[in-house]
Amino acid sequence: MVAPPDNDVLWARSLHHTHHGSPALSGVSLGVREGEVLAVHGPRGCGKTTLLRCLAGHVVPEEGEVWFNSVPVHTMGAVQRERLRRDRFGWIDPEPALVPELTAWENAALPLLLRGCSHRAARSAALEWLERLDIGSCAADRPHALLQSQRQRVAVARALVATPTVLFADEPTAPLYSADRSQVLRTLTAAARSHRITVVLATHDADVAALADRTVALLDGRRVNSLHVNGAEGLDACSLSV
Protein backbone atom coordinates (compact mmCIF):
# COMPACT_ATOMS: atom_id res chain seq x y z
CA MET A 1 0.00 0.00 0.00
CA VAL A 2 1.28 3.47 -0.92
CA ALA A 3 0.22 6.25 1.50
CA PRO A 4 -1.80 9.12 -0.01
CA PRO A 5 -0.66 12.73 -0.45
CA ASP A 6 -0.48 14.58 2.90
CA ASN A 7 -2.83 17.39 1.92
CA ASP A 8 -5.76 15.09 1.09
CA VAL A 9 -8.10 14.49 4.02
CA LEU A 10 -9.75 11.70 2.03
CA TRP A 11 -8.17 9.71 -0.69
CA ALA A 12 -9.48 6.76 -2.68
CA ARG A 13 -7.70 4.61 -5.21
CA SER A 14 -9.28 2.43 -7.85
CA LEU A 15 -12.54 1.63 -6.08
CA HIS A 16 -14.56 -1.23 -7.48
CA HIS A 17 -17.88 -2.29 -5.99
CA THR A 18 -20.89 -4.27 -7.17
CA HIS A 19 -24.43 -4.70 -5.86
CA HIS A 20 -25.59 -8.29 -6.36
CA GLY A 21 -23.22 -8.65 -9.30
CA SER A 22 -24.12 -5.33 -10.98
CA PRO A 23 -21.22 -2.88 -11.13
CA ALA A 24 -21.79 0.32 -9.12
CA LEU A 25 -18.19 1.62 -9.07
CA SER A 26 -15.55 0.70 -11.64
CA GLY A 27 -12.09 1.99 -10.81
CA VAL A 28 -12.90 5.36 -9.21
CA SER A 29 -9.98 7.29 -7.70
CA LEU A 30 -10.13 10.72 -6.09
CA GLY A 31 -8.62 12.96 -3.43
CA VAL A 32 -10.48 15.46 -1.26
CA ARG A 33 -8.53 18.36 0.19
CA GLU A 34 -9.05 19.60 3.72
CA GLY A 35 -11.80 22.21 3.95
CA GLU A 36 -12.95 21.84 0.36
CA VAL A 37 -16.55 21.40 -0.76
CA LEU A 38 -16.45 18.65 -3.39
CA ALA A 39 -19.50 17.77 -5.47
CA VAL A 40 -19.86 14.23 -6.81
CA HIS A 41 -22.12 14.87 -9.76
CA GLY A 42 -23.87 12.55 -12.17
CA PRO A 43 -27.21 11.09 -13.26
CA ARG A 44 -29.30 8.76 -11.11
CA GLY A 45 -27.72 5.36 -10.68
CA CYS A 46 -24.18 6.46 -11.65
CA GLY A 47 -22.72 5.35 -8.30
CA LYS A 48 -22.72 8.54 -6.19
CA THR A 49 -24.25 6.97 -3.07
CA THR A 50 -22.02 3.91 -3.33
CA LEU A 51 -18.94 6.16 -3.61
CA LEU A 52 -19.94 8.24 -0.57
CA ARG A 53 -20.68 5.09 1.43
CA CYS A 54 -17.23 3.67 0.56
CA LEU A 55 -15.48 6.95 1.46
CA ALA A 56 -17.38 7.18 4.78
CA GLY A 57 -16.59 3.61 5.78
CA HIS A 58 -20.21 2.43 5.65
CA VAL A 59 -19.20 -0.04 2.96
CA VAL A 60 -15.85 -1.67 2.34
CA PRO A 61 -15.18 -1.61 -1.41
CA GLU A 62 -14.62 -5.01 -3.01
CA GLU A 63 -11.40 -3.63 -4.49
CA GLY A 64 -9.40 -0.47 -3.91
CA GLU A 65 -8.28 1.70 -1.03
CA VAL A 66 -9.82 4.47 1.07
CA TRP A 67 -7.64 6.61 3.33
CA PHE A 68 -8.70 9.24 5.87
CA ASN A 69 -5.96 11.55 7.17
CA SER A 70 -3.33 9.07 5.95
CA VAL A 71 -4.98 6.16 7.84
CA PRO A 72 -6.36 3.24 5.78
CA VAL A 73 -10.12 2.85 6.23
CA HIS A 74 -10.56 -0.16 3.93
CA THR A 75 -8.56 -2.39 6.29
CA MET A 76 -10.41 -1.31 9.47
CA GLY A 77 -12.82 -3.63 11.24
CA ALA A 78 -16.50 -2.77 11.58
CA VAL A 79 -16.18 -1.37 15.12
CA GLN A 80 -13.27 0.89 14.18
CA ARG A 81 -15.14 2.20 11.14
CA GLU A 82 -18.23 2.83 13.26
CA ARG A 83 -16.13 4.83 15.74
CA LEU A 84 -14.57 6.81 12.90
CA ARG A 85 -18.01 7.67 11.53
CA ARG A 86 -19.29 8.67 14.97
CA ASP A 87 -16.28 10.81 15.92
CA ARG A 88 -15.14 12.37 12.65
CA PHE A 89 -17.89 12.19 10.03
CA GLY A 90 -21.35 13.66 9.56
CA TRP A 91 -23.91 12.22 7.16
CA ILE A 92 -27.04 13.63 5.52
CA ASP A 93 -29.37 11.27 3.63
CA PRO A 94 -31.80 12.32 0.90
CA GLU A 95 -34.64 11.41 3.31
CA PRO A 96 -34.33 12.54 6.93
CA ALA A 97 -34.08 9.56 9.29
CA LEU A 98 -34.93 11.00 12.72
CA VAL A 99 -35.69 9.21 15.98
CA PRO A 100 -39.50 9.58 16.27
CA GLU A 101 -39.56 9.58 20.08
CA LEU A 102 -37.11 12.50 20.37
CA THR A 103 -37.83 16.20 19.84
CA ALA A 104 -36.19 18.17 17.04
CA TRP A 105 -33.49 19.57 19.33
CA GLU A 106 -32.81 16.14 20.90
CA ASN A 107 -32.41 14.65 17.41
CA ALA A 108 -30.06 17.46 16.41
CA ALA A 109 -28.06 17.05 19.64
CA LEU A 110 -27.62 13.26 19.31
CA PRO A 111 -24.03 13.23 17.95
CA LEU A 112 -22.88 15.38 20.88
CA LEU A 113 -24.77 13.30 23.46
CA LEU A 114 -23.26 10.11 21.98
CA ARG A 115 -19.79 11.64 22.43
CA GLY A 116 -20.49 12.27 26.11
CA CYS A 117 -21.10 16.03 25.86
CA SER A 118 -23.19 17.49 28.71
CA HIS A 119 -26.94 17.73 28.16
CA ARG A 120 -26.83 21.50 28.59
CA ALA A 121 -24.01 22.09 26.09
CA ALA A 122 -25.56 19.67 23.56
CA ARG A 123 -28.92 21.43 23.84
CA SER A 124 -27.38 24.86 23.40
CA ALA A 125 -25.40 23.79 20.30
CA ALA A 126 -28.43 22.03 18.78
CA LEU A 127 -30.67 25.08 19.33
CA GLU A 128 -28.07 27.32 17.71
CA TRP A 129 -28.01 25.18 14.55
CA LEU A 130 -31.80 24.89 14.44
CA GLU A 131 -32.01 28.71 14.62
CA ARG A 132 -29.47 29.07 11.82
CA LEU A 133 -31.56 26.73 9.70
CA ASP A 134 -34.74 28.72 10.47
CA ILE A 135 -36.47 26.03 12.51
CA GLY A 136 -35.70 27.23 16.03
CA SER A 137 -39.43 27.52 16.71
CA CYS A 138 -39.85 23.76 16.07
CA ALA A 139 -37.16 22.71 18.57
CA ALA A 140 -39.61 21.11 21.02
CA ASP A 141 -41.65 19.30 18.33
CA ARG A 142 -41.35 15.62 17.52
CA PRO A 143 -40.67 14.59 13.89
CA HIS A 144 -44.29 13.56 13.19
CA ALA A 145 -45.39 17.17 13.85
CA LEU A 146 -42.90 18.58 11.32
CA LEU A 147 -43.05 19.02 7.56
CA GLN A 148 -40.66 16.86 5.55
CA SER A 149 -38.60 19.98 4.72
CA GLN A 150 -38.36 20.83 8.45
CA ARG A 151 -37.31 17.26 9.26
CA GLN A 152 -34.54 17.53 6.65
CA ARG A 153 -33.32 20.75 8.27
CA VAL A 154 -33.16 18.90 11.61
CA ALA A 155 -31.07 16.21 9.89
CA VAL A 156 -28.76 18.92 8.50
CA ALA A 157 -28.41 20.45 11.99
CA ARG A 158 -27.63 17.00 13.41
CA ALA A 159 -24.90 16.48 10.78
CA LEU A 160 -23.25 19.83 11.58
CA VAL A 161 -23.70 20.03 15.35
CA ALA A 162 -20.52 18.15 16.27
CA THR A 163 -18.39 19.97 13.66
CA PRO A 164 -17.34 16.81 11.82
CA THR A 165 -14.04 16.69 9.96
CA VAL A 166 -15.90 15.47 6.86
CA LEU A 167 -19.58 15.92 6.11
CA PHE A 168 -21.07 13.53 3.55
CA ALA A 169 -24.28 14.88 2.06
CA ASP A 170 -26.18 12.55 -0.27
CA GLU A 171 -28.67 14.64 -2.26
CA PRO A 172 -29.27 16.71 0.91
CA THR A 173 -31.87 19.00 -0.61
CA ALA A 174 -33.94 16.30 -2.33
CA PRO A 175 -36.99 16.73 -0.05
CA LEU A 176 -36.90 20.55 -0.09
CA TYR A 177 -38.79 23.06 -2.22
CA SER A 178 -36.54 25.14 -4.46
CA ALA A 179 -36.89 28.23 -2.22
CA ASP A 180 -35.79 26.19 0.83
CA ARG A 181 -33.10 24.42 -1.14
CA SER A 182 -30.84 27.40 -1.71
CA GLN A 183 -31.13 28.59 1.91
CA VAL A 184 -30.22 25.17 3.30
CA LEU A 185 -27.37 24.76 0.81
CA ARG A 186 -26.03 28.22 1.58
CA THR A 187 -26.15 27.51 5.33
CA LEU A 188 -24.44 24.18 4.80
CA THR A 189 -21.63 25.51 2.60
CA ALA A 190 -21.16 28.66 4.71
CA ALA A 191 -20.95 26.55 7.89
CA ALA A 192 -18.49 24.20 6.23
CA ARG A 193 -16.28 27.04 5.05
CA SER A 194 -16.32 28.92 8.36
CA HIS A 195 -15.62 25.78 10.42
CA ARG A 196 -13.15 24.20 7.90
CA ILE A 197 -15.45 21.20 7.49
CA THR A 198 -14.69 19.19 4.35
CA VAL A 199 -17.88 18.39 2.43
CA VAL A 200 -18.48 15.60 -0.07
CA LEU A 201 -21.82 16.34 -1.68
CA ALA A 202 -23.59 13.90 -4.04
CA THR A 203 -25.99 15.52 -6.46
CA HIS A 204 -27.59 15.01 -9.86
CA ASP A 205 -28.39 18.75 -9.96
CA ALA A 206 -25.89 20.92 -11.85
CA ASP A 207 -27.01 24.04 -9.92
CA VAL A 208 -26.19 22.33 -6.61
CA ALA A 209 -22.84 21.09 -7.96
CA ALA A 210 -22.03 24.67 -9.01
CA LEU A 211 -21.92 25.70 -5.32
CA ALA A 212 -18.96 23.40 -4.70
CA ASP A 213 -15.28 24.33 -4.95
CA ARG A 214 -14.69 21.40 -7.31
CA THR A 215 -16.73 18.73 -9.05
CA VAL A 216 -16.02 15.09 -9.76
CA ALA A 217 -18.33 13.70 -12.44
CA LEU A 218 -19.47 10.07 -12.51
CA LEU A 219 -21.15 8.14 -15.28
CA ASP A 220 -21.96 4.44 -15.06
CA GLY A 221 -19.70 4.00 -12.04
CA ARG A 222 -16.69 5.64 -13.67
CA ARG A 223 -15.09 9.05 -13.33
CA VAL A 224 -15.41 11.25 -16.38
CA ASN A 225 -14.05 14.72 -17.01
CA SER A 226 -17.32 16.58 -17.38
CA LEU A 227 -21.03 16.19 -17.99
CA HIS A 228 -22.84 18.55 -20.38
CA VAL A 229 -26.49 18.97 -19.62
CA ASN A 230 -28.77 19.21 -22.64
CA GLY A 231 -31.99 21.13 -22.00
CA ALA A 232 -34.68 20.57 -19.42
CA GLU A 233 -34.24 16.82 -19.27
CA GLY A 234 -31.16 17.49 -17.20
CA LEU A 235 -28.63 14.78 -16.63
CA ASP A 236 -30.90 12.07 -17.93
CA ALA A 237 -30.01 13.52 -21.31
CA CYS A 238 -26.36 14.25 -20.60
CA SER A 239 -23.56 13.89 -23.07
CA LEU A 240 -20.13 12.87 -22.04
CA SER A 241 -16.82 14.57 -22.60
CA VAL A 242 -13.71 12.81 -21.46
Ligand X SMILES: Nc1ncnc2c1ncn2[C@@H]1O[C@H](COP(=O)(O)OP(=O)(O)OP(=O)(O)O)[C@@H](O)[C@H]1O
Measured from the CB atom, the residue of 131 and 236 that comes closer to ligand X is: 236
Q: How far is the CB of 218 from ligand X (least distance, A)?
A: 7
Which residues are at the interface with ligand X (CB under 6 A)? 19-20, 22, 24, 42, 44-50, 204
* Least spacing, CB of residue 166 vs ligand X, in Å: 18
Is 24 in contact with 18 (CB distance < 8 Å)?
yes
The CB-side HSE value for 46 (13 A sphere, CA atoms) comes to 22
Residue (110 or 174) nearer to ligand X, CB: 174
Q: Considering beta carbons, is residue 20 or 144 the nearer one to ligand X?
A: 20
Burial per residue of 199-213, b for 16 or more beta-carbon CB atoms within 10 angstroms, e otherwise: bbbbbbbbebbebbe
Judged by beta carbon, residue 147 or residue 174, the one nearer ligand X is: 174
Sign of CA dihedral 203, 194, 103, 57: positive
CB of 53 to ligand X, least distance (A): 8
- In the complex, the smallest distance separating the C-beta of residue 230 from ligand X, rounded to whole angstroms, is 19
Helix (H) or strand (E) holding 19: strand 8-19
